[in-house]
Amino acid sequence: MKKIILSLLALIVMNMNSIAQEEDSTELRNKEIENSLIYKTGVIELRQGNAKLTVPKGFRFLDEKQAMYVLTDLWGNPADSTILGLLVPANRSVMDSNGWVFTISFDEMGYVKDDDADDIDYDELLKEQQKETNDENPERIKEGYDPIDLVGWASMPFYDKDKKILHWAKELKFGEDSIHTLNYNLRILGRKGVFVLNAVASMDELSEVKSNINNVIDCVEFDKGHSYFDFDPKIDNVAAWTIGGLVAGKLLAKAGLFVLLLKFWKLIAVAVAGFGGGIWKYFKKKKAENKSIDRE
Work out the mean pLDDT of the chain and round it to a whole number. 78
Give the residue extent of every domain in the chain. Answer: 37-295
What's the distance, CA 55 to chain centroid?
Answer: 18
Residue 202 · residue 181 · CB < 8 Å: yes
Which neighbouring-strand residues pair with 194? 107, 189
What's the distance, CA 218 to chain centroid?
Answer: 18
Is 63 strand, coil or helix? strand
196-238 per-position pLDDT tens digit: 998 878 888 899 999 999 889 999 999 999 999 999 999 999 9
β 268-269/279-280 pair status: antiparallel
Is 193 a residue whose pLDDT tops 90? yes
Residue 99 · residue 92 · CB < 8 Å: yes
Amino acid letter, residue 249: G
154-180 per-position pLDDT tens digit: 999 999 999 999 999 999 888 887 888
Backbone dihedral angles phi then psi of residue 66, each to the nearest 5 degrees: -70, -35
Provide the terminal-to-terminal Cα distance of the chain, rounded to the nearest Å.
Answer: 27
Is 288 a residue whose pLDDT tops 50? no
Is 148 a residue whose pLDDT tops 60? yes
Element counts in the chain: helices (H) and strands (E): 8, 12
22-63 per-position pLDDT tens digit: 545 667 787 888 889 999 999 999 999 999 999 999 999 999
pLDDT at 279: 35
Give the Cβ contact number of residue 235 at 10 Å. Answer: 6
Predicted structure pTM score: 0.75
Cα separation values, 48 from 106, 130, 220, Å? 7, 33, 12
What's the distance, CA 276 to chain centroid?
Answer: 8
pLDDT at 30: 77
